[in-house]
Amino acid sequence: MSLFIRFILTILWPVSWALAMTPVLAQENILNLYSSRHYETDEALYANFTKLTGIKVNRIEANENALLERIRNEGARSPADVLLTVDAGRLWTAEQMGLLQPVRSQQLESRIPASMREPSGLWFGFSMRARLIAFDRGRVKPGEIRSYEDLADPKWKGKLCVRSGSHMYNLSLVSAMIDQHGEAGAETWAKALAGNLARSPKGGDTDQLRSVAAGECQLALANSYYYARLMRSDKPEDKALVERVGVVFPNQASGEGGAHVNISGAGVLKNAPHRDAAVKFLEYLATDSAQEYFANGNNEWPVVANLQVANPALAKLGRFGYDTRNVAALGRNQPAAKKIVDRAGWK
Protein backbone atom coordinates (compact mmCIF):
# COMPACT_ATOMS: atom_id res chain seq x y z
CA MET A 1 0.00 0.00 0.00
CA SER A 2 1.48 3.34 -1.01
CA LEU A 3 2.19 6.07 1.49
CA PHE A 4 -0.39 8.27 -0.27
CA ILE A 5 -3.21 5.71 0.18
CA ARG A 6 -2.25 5.16 3.81
CA PHE A 7 -2.39 8.94 4.32
CA ILE A 8 -5.88 9.16 2.78
CA LEU A 9 -7.16 6.25 4.92
CA THR A 10 -5.72 7.84 8.04
CA ILE A 11 -7.73 10.97 7.32
CA LEU A 12 -10.97 9.26 6.29
CA TRP A 13 -11.18 6.50 8.93
CA PRO A 14 -12.23 8.72 11.86
CA VAL A 15 -14.86 10.38 9.64
CA SER A 16 -16.29 7.08 8.42
CA TRP A 17 -16.27 5.71 11.99
CA ALA A 18 -18.18 8.74 13.26
CA LEU A 19 -20.74 8.46 10.46
CA ALA A 20 -21.22 4.78 11.15
CA MET A 21 -21.73 5.42 14.85
CA THR A 22 -24.17 8.34 14.48
CA PRO A 23 -27.34 6.19 14.17
CA VAL A 24 -26.26 4.16 17.20
CA LEU A 25 -25.68 7.26 19.32
CA ALA A 26 -28.99 8.76 18.22
CA GLN A 27 -30.77 5.63 19.42
CA GLU A 28 -29.07 5.50 22.82
CA ASN A 29 -31.57 4.55 25.50
CA ILE A 30 -31.02 7.66 27.58
CA LEU A 31 -32.71 10.95 28.39
CA ASN A 32 -30.81 14.09 29.33
CA LEU A 33 -32.99 16.14 31.67
CA TYR A 34 -32.27 19.73 32.68
CA SER A 35 -34.36 20.47 35.76
CA SER A 36 -34.84 23.37 38.14
CA ARG A 37 -37.01 21.21 40.41
CA HIS A 38 -35.01 20.40 43.52
CA TYR A 39 -37.25 17.95 45.36
CA GLU A 40 -35.70 14.71 46.62
CA THR A 41 -39.00 12.94 46.02
CA ASP A 42 -38.55 13.38 42.26
CA GLU A 43 -35.95 10.59 42.43
CA ALA A 44 -38.79 8.05 42.59
CA LEU A 45 -40.51 9.76 39.65
CA TYR A 46 -37.45 9.30 37.43
CA ALA A 47 -36.65 5.81 38.71
CA ASN A 48 -40.15 4.65 37.81
CA PHE A 49 -39.77 6.02 34.27
CA THR A 50 -36.56 4.03 33.84
CA LYS A 51 -38.23 0.92 35.24
CA LEU A 52 -41.14 1.23 32.80
CA THR A 53 -39.17 2.15 29.67
CA GLY A 54 -35.55 1.10 30.22
CA ILE A 55 -34.51 4.69 29.44
CA LYS A 56 -31.83 6.01 31.79
CA VAL A 57 -32.34 9.57 33.04
CA ASN A 58 -29.23 11.75 33.24
CA ARG A 59 -29.95 14.90 35.20
CA ILE A 60 -28.49 18.39 35.37
CA GLU A 61 -30.03 20.48 38.16
CA ALA A 62 -29.65 24.23 38.61
CA ASN A 63 -31.83 27.30 38.96
CA GLU A 64 -33.90 28.12 35.91
CA ASN A 65 -31.89 31.16 34.78
CA ALA A 66 -28.63 29.20 34.84
CA LEU A 67 -30.22 26.33 32.91
CA LEU A 68 -31.67 28.59 30.24
CA GLU A 69 -28.35 30.34 29.76
CA ARG A 70 -26.53 27.03 29.60
CA ILE A 71 -28.90 25.66 26.95
CA ARG A 72 -28.54 28.82 24.87
CA ASN A 73 -24.74 28.73 25.11
CA GLU A 74 -24.62 25.03 24.18
CA GLY A 75 -26.60 25.80 21.03
CA ALA A 76 -26.98 23.03 18.46
CA ARG A 77 -24.53 20.86 20.40
CA SER A 78 -26.63 20.83 23.56
CA PRO A 79 -27.12 17.32 24.98
CA ALA A 80 -30.33 18.46 26.74
CA ASP A 81 -33.53 16.68 25.74
CA VAL A 82 -36.10 18.06 28.19
CA LEU A 83 -36.40 21.20 30.30
CA LEU A 84 -38.44 20.66 33.49
CA THR A 85 -39.15 23.71 35.62
CA VAL A 86 -41.66 25.46 37.84
CA ASP A 87 -43.85 28.38 36.77
CA ALA A 88 -45.41 28.97 33.37
CA GLY A 89 -43.52 32.26 33.16
CA ARG A 90 -40.21 30.41 33.06
CA LEU A 91 -41.43 28.07 30.36
CA TRP A 92 -42.60 31.10 28.42
CA THR A 93 -39.09 32.57 28.73
CA ALA A 94 -37.62 29.36 27.24
CA GLU A 95 -40.22 29.59 24.48
CA GLN A 96 -39.27 33.21 23.71
CA MET A 97 -35.59 32.26 23.59
CA GLY A 98 -36.40 29.74 20.88
CA LEU A 99 -35.19 26.79 22.96
CA LEU A 100 -38.23 24.51 22.61
CA GLN A 101 -39.79 22.49 19.80
CA PRO A 102 -43.50 21.62 19.43
CA VAL A 103 -44.78 18.17 20.34
CA ARG A 104 -47.95 16.64 18.98
CA SER A 105 -49.16 13.78 21.15
CA GLN A 106 -52.68 12.42 21.44
CA GLN A 107 -51.93 11.20 24.96
CA LEU A 108 -50.71 14.60 26.14
CA GLU A 109 -53.50 16.50 24.44
CA SER A 110 -56.20 14.20 25.81
CA ARG A 111 -54.92 14.13 29.40
CA ILE A 112 -53.52 17.64 29.93
CA PRO A 113 -56.28 20.30 30.02
CA ALA A 114 -55.98 22.93 27.30
CA SER A 115 -55.55 25.66 29.93
CA MET A 116 -52.46 23.90 31.29
CA ARG A 117 -50.40 23.70 28.09
CA GLU A 118 -48.95 25.99 25.45
CA PRO A 119 -51.40 25.93 22.51
CA SER A 120 -48.89 24.81 19.88
CA GLY A 121 -47.38 22.07 22.10
CA LEU A 122 -44.12 23.79 23.06
CA TRP A 123 -44.64 22.95 26.74
CA PHE A 124 -47.08 21.16 29.03
CA GLY A 125 -48.07 21.55 32.68
CA PHE A 126 -47.95 18.40 34.81
CA SER A 127 -48.76 19.59 38.33
CA MET A 128 -50.61 22.55 39.77
CA ARG A 129 -50.32 24.80 42.81
CA ALA A 130 -52.62 27.60 43.98
CA ARG A 131 -51.67 31.04 45.32
CA LEU A 132 -53.45 31.12 48.68
CA ILE A 133 -54.24 33.88 51.14
CA ALA A 134 -53.15 32.91 54.65
CA PHE A 135 -54.76 34.58 57.68
CA ASP A 136 -54.40 34.76 61.45
CA ARG A 137 -57.35 32.78 62.80
CA GLY A 138 -57.36 34.85 65.99
CA ARG A 139 -57.46 38.28 64.34
CA VAL A 140 -59.24 37.76 61.01
CA LYS A 141 -62.85 36.62 61.03
CA PRO A 142 -64.09 33.94 58.60
CA GLY A 143 -65.28 35.58 55.40
CA GLU A 144 -63.40 38.84 56.02
CA ILE A 145 -60.94 38.06 53.27
CA ARG A 146 -62.27 36.33 50.17
CA SER A 147 -60.36 37.47 47.11
CA TYR A 148 -57.07 38.82 45.81
CA GLU A 149 -58.91 42.09 45.21
CA ASP A 150 -59.70 42.26 48.94
CA LEU A 151 -55.96 42.58 49.65
CA ALA A 152 -56.14 46.12 48.23
CA ASP A 153 -58.73 47.23 50.81
CA PRO A 154 -57.34 50.01 53.08
CA LYS A 155 -58.67 48.10 56.11
CA TRP A 156 -55.62 45.83 55.75
CA LYS A 157 -53.07 48.66 55.83
CA GLY A 158 -49.98 47.50 57.74
CA LYS A 159 -51.33 43.94 58.03
CA LEU A 160 -50.04 42.08 54.95
CA CYS A 161 -46.82 40.07 54.52
CA VAL A 162 -45.60 38.98 51.10
CA ARG A 163 -42.32 38.14 49.39
CA SER A 164 -40.73 40.36 46.74
CA GLY A 165 -42.99 41.57 43.95
CA SER A 166 -40.23 40.72 41.46
CA HIS A 167 -40.33 37.03 42.40
CA MET A 168 -41.80 34.85 39.67
CA TYR A 169 -44.68 33.63 41.85
CA ASN A 170 -45.93 37.18 42.38
CA LEU A 171 -45.17 38.27 38.82
CA SER A 172 -47.39 35.42 37.66
CA LEU A 173 -50.16 36.57 39.98
CA VAL A 174 -49.88 40.12 38.63
CA SER A 175 -49.89 38.67 35.10
CA ALA A 176 -53.17 36.93 35.92
CA MET A 177 -54.58 40.20 37.27
CA ILE A 178 -53.60 41.89 33.98
CA ASP A 179 -55.44 39.20 32.05
CA GLN A 180 -58.53 39.74 34.19
CA HIS A 181 -58.53 43.50 34.87
CA GLY A 182 -56.25 45.00 32.23
CA GLU A 183 -52.92 46.70 32.90
CA ALA A 184 -54.44 49.82 34.49
CA GLY A 185 -56.61 47.78 36.84
CA ALA A 186 -53.73 45.49 37.79
CA GLU A 187 -51.51 48.48 38.55
CA THR A 188 -54.14 50.12 40.75
CA TRP A 189 -54.44 46.82 42.65
CA ALA A 190 -50.66 46.34 43.00
CA LYS A 191 -50.17 49.88 44.34
CA ALA A 192 -52.90 49.40 46.94
CA LEU A 193 -51.49 46.00 47.93
CA ALA A 194 -48.00 47.49 48.35
CA GLY A 195 -49.52 50.20 50.53
CA ASN A 196 -50.93 47.57 52.89
CA LEU A 197 -47.63 45.82 53.64
CA ALA A 198 -46.69 45.31 57.28
CA ARG A 199 -42.99 45.37 56.39
CA SER A 200 -40.68 45.41 53.40
CA PRO A 201 -40.90 42.16 51.41
CA LYS A 202 -38.35 39.56 52.45
CA GLY A 203 -37.90 35.80 52.58
CA GLY A 204 -39.85 33.04 50.86
CA ASP A 205 -43.45 31.87 51.14
CA THR A 206 -42.86 29.82 54.30
CA ASP A 207 -41.39 32.94 55.94
CA GLN A 208 -44.62 34.80 55.21
CA LEU A 209 -46.64 32.04 56.90
CA ARG A 210 -44.34 32.12 59.93
CA SER A 211 -44.72 35.90 60.12
CA VAL A 212 -48.49 35.50 60.40
CA ALA A 213 -48.06 32.88 63.13
CA ALA A 214 -45.66 35.21 64.98
CA GLY A 215 -48.17 38.07 64.91
CA GLU A 216 -46.07 40.26 62.61
CA CYS A 217 -48.94 40.47 60.12
CA GLN A 218 -52.50 39.22 59.79
CA LEU A 219 -52.49 38.18 56.13
CA ALA A 220 -49.98 36.69 53.71
CA LEU A 221 -49.70 35.23 50.21
CA ALA A 222 -48.18 31.77 49.79
CA ASN A 223 -48.25 28.87 47.36
CA SER A 224 -50.42 25.99 48.52
CA TYR A 225 -47.66 23.38 48.75
CA TYR A 226 -45.76 25.40 51.37
CA TYR A 227 -48.77 25.29 53.65
CA ALA A 228 -49.42 21.62 52.84
CA ARG A 229 -45.84 20.76 53.89
CA LEU A 230 -46.47 22.36 57.27
CA MET A 231 -49.74 20.44 57.56
CA ARG A 232 -47.83 17.17 57.07
CA SER A 233 -44.96 18.08 59.39
CA ASP A 234 -44.42 16.34 62.73
CA LYS A 235 -42.58 19.32 64.22
CA PRO A 236 -44.45 20.91 67.14
CA GLU A 237 -43.77 24.44 65.86
CA ASP A 238 -45.28 23.57 62.46
CA LYS A 239 -48.33 22.00 64.05
CA ALA A 240 -48.77 25.14 66.15
CA LEU A 241 -48.50 27.29 63.02
CA VAL A 242 -51.25 25.37 61.23
CA GLU A 243 -53.45 25.72 64.33
CA ARG A 244 -53.05 29.50 64.25
CA VAL A 245 -52.85 30.18 60.51
CA GLY A 246 -55.72 29.34 58.17
CA VAL A 247 -55.84 29.64 54.39
CA VAL A 248 -58.39 30.83 51.84
CA PHE A 249 -58.79 29.75 48.24
CA PRO A 250 -59.47 33.19 46.78
CA ASN A 251 -62.10 34.28 44.24
CA GLN A 252 -64.51 31.38 44.69
CA ALA A 253 -67.74 33.35 44.22
CA SER A 254 -69.58 33.21 40.92
CA GLY A 255 -67.97 35.45 38.31
CA GLU A 256 -64.73 35.94 40.27
CA GLY A 257 -62.70 33.58 38.08
CA GLY A 258 -61.33 31.18 40.71
CA ALA A 259 -57.99 30.91 42.49
CA HIS A 260 -54.82 31.79 40.60
CA VAL A 261 -52.90 28.60 39.78
CA ASN A 262 -49.48 27.94 38.32
CA ILE A 263 -47.73 24.82 37.11
CA SER A 264 -44.65 22.69 37.09
CA GLY A 265 -44.12 21.84 33.44
CA ALA A 266 -41.76 20.64 30.76
CA GLY A 267 -40.95 20.90 27.09
CA VAL A 268 -38.76 19.12 24.56
CA LEU A 269 -35.69 21.18 23.66
CA LYS A 270 -35.11 22.31 20.10
CA ASN A 271 -31.87 20.36 19.62
CA ALA A 272 -32.84 17.29 21.68
CA PRO A 273 -30.59 14.39 20.55
CA HIS A 274 -33.04 11.83 21.98
CA ARG A 275 -36.36 13.27 20.87
CA ASP A 276 -38.31 10.00 21.00
CA ALA A 277 -37.21 9.41 24.60
CA ALA A 278 -38.09 13.03 25.42
CA VAL A 279 -41.65 12.66 24.10
CA LYS A 280 -42.04 9.37 25.99
CA PHE A 281 -40.92 11.16 29.16
CA LEU A 282 -43.52 13.90 28.73
CA GLU A 283 -46.20 11.30 28.07
CA TYR A 284 -45.08 9.41 31.17
CA LEU A 285 -45.47 12.58 33.29
CA ALA A 286 -49.15 12.60 32.30
CA THR A 287 -49.78 9.04 33.50
CA ASP A 288 -51.67 8.33 36.72
CA SER A 289 -48.58 7.00 38.48
CA ALA A 290 -46.45 10.04 37.66
CA GLN A 291 -49.27 12.41 38.60
CA GLU A 292 -49.40 10.72 42.01
CA TYR A 293 -45.66 11.21 42.46
CA PHE A 294 -46.12 14.94 41.88
CA ALA A 295 -49.02 15.07 44.33
CA ASN A 296 -47.43 13.04 47.10
CA GLY A 297 -43.87 14.23 46.59
CA ASN A 298 -44.38 17.98 46.61
CA ASN A 299 -48.01 18.39 47.65
CA GLU A 300 -49.10 19.64 44.22
CA TRP A 301 -52.41 18.83 42.59
CA PRO A 302 -52.42 16.65 39.46
CA VAL A 303 -53.46 18.46 36.29
CA VAL A 304 -55.22 15.35 34.96
CA ALA A 305 -58.90 15.82 35.70
CA ASN A 306 -60.70 13.82 38.40
CA LEU A 307 -57.59 11.90 39.50
CA GLN A 308 -57.78 10.96 43.17
CA VAL A 309 -54.46 10.94 45.07
CA ALA A 310 -53.70 9.72 48.58
CA ASN A 311 -52.31 12.94 50.03
CA PRO A 312 -53.91 13.79 53.39
CA ALA A 313 -53.01 17.49 53.23
CA LEU A 314 -54.52 17.96 49.79
CA ALA A 315 -57.60 16.02 50.86
CA LYS A 316 -58.01 18.25 53.92
CA LEU A 317 -57.59 21.43 51.88
CA GLY A 318 -60.45 20.18 49.70
CA ARG A 319 -61.68 21.01 46.24
CA PHE A 320 -61.65 24.55 44.91
CA GLY A 321 -62.45 26.53 41.79
CA TYR A 322 -59.46 27.77 39.83
CA ASP A 323 -58.81 30.14 36.96
CA THR A 324 -59.13 28.17 33.72
CA ARG A 325 -57.66 30.78 31.39
CA ASN A 326 -54.58 29.46 29.62
CA VAL A 327 -51.49 29.70 31.83
CA ALA A 328 -49.51 30.88 28.80
CA ALA A 329 -50.88 34.33 29.69
CA LEU A 330 -48.73 34.25 32.84
CA GLY A 331 -45.68 34.45 30.61
CA ARG A 332 -47.14 36.68 27.93
CA ASN A 333 -48.04 39.36 30.49
CA GLN A 334 -44.79 39.03 32.42
CA PRO A 335 -42.96 42.06 30.93
CA ALA A 336 -45.91 44.31 31.78
CA ALA A 337 -46.16 42.74 35.26
CA LYS A 338 -42.50 43.60 35.97
CA LYS A 339 -43.10 47.23 35.11
CA ILE A 340 -46.23 47.33 37.24
CA VAL A 341 -44.59 45.99 40.43
CA ASP A 342 -41.72 48.45 39.98
CA ARG A 343 -44.05 51.42 39.57
CA ALA A 344 -46.19 50.19 42.47
CA GLY A 345 -43.21 50.18 44.84
CA TRP A 346 -43.69 46.45 45.51
CA LYS A 347 -39.99 45.83 46.03
Full set of structural domains in the chain with CATH: 28-128+262-308 (3.40.190.10), 130-260+327-344 (3.40.190.10)
List phi, psi (to 5°) of 182: 80, 165
Contact 281, 31 (CB under 8 A): yes
What is residue 67's predicted lDDT score, i.e. its pLDDT? 96
Contact 266, 286 (CB under 8 A): no
What is residue 296's predicted lDDT score, i.e. its pLDDT? 87
DSSP for residue 326: -
Tell me if residue 124 falls in helix, strand or coil. Answer: strand
| Residue 22: CB atoms within 10 Å | 10
What is residue 294's predicted lDDT score, i.e. its pLDDT? 86
Contact 97, 114 (CB under 8 A): no
Banded pLDDT at 13 (limits 50, 70, 90): very low
With a cut of 80, say whether residue 18 has pLDDT above it: no
Banded pLDDT at 142 (limits 50, 70, 90): confident
What is residue 148's predicted lDDT score, i.e. its pLDDT? 98
Query: What's CA 204's distance to the chain center, in Å?
Result: 15
With a cut of 90, say whether residue 205 has pLDDT above it: yes
For 133, half-sphere exposure in the C-beta direction (CA atoms, 13 angstrom radius) is: 28
The pLDDT of 114-124, averaged and rounded, is 96
What is residue 145's predicted lDDT score, i.e. its pLDDT? 97
Query: pLDDT tens digit string along 231-253?
Result: 999 999 999 999 999 999 999 99
Quote the CA–CA distance of 304 and 315 in Å, as a whole number: 16
Q: Any residues with CB less than 8 A from the CB of 279 and at least 6 apart, and which?
A: 103, 105, 268
Mean pLDDT rounded to a whole number for the chain: 91
Banded pLDDT at 43 (limits 50, 70, 90): confident
With a cut of 60, say whether residue 194 has pLDDT above it: yes
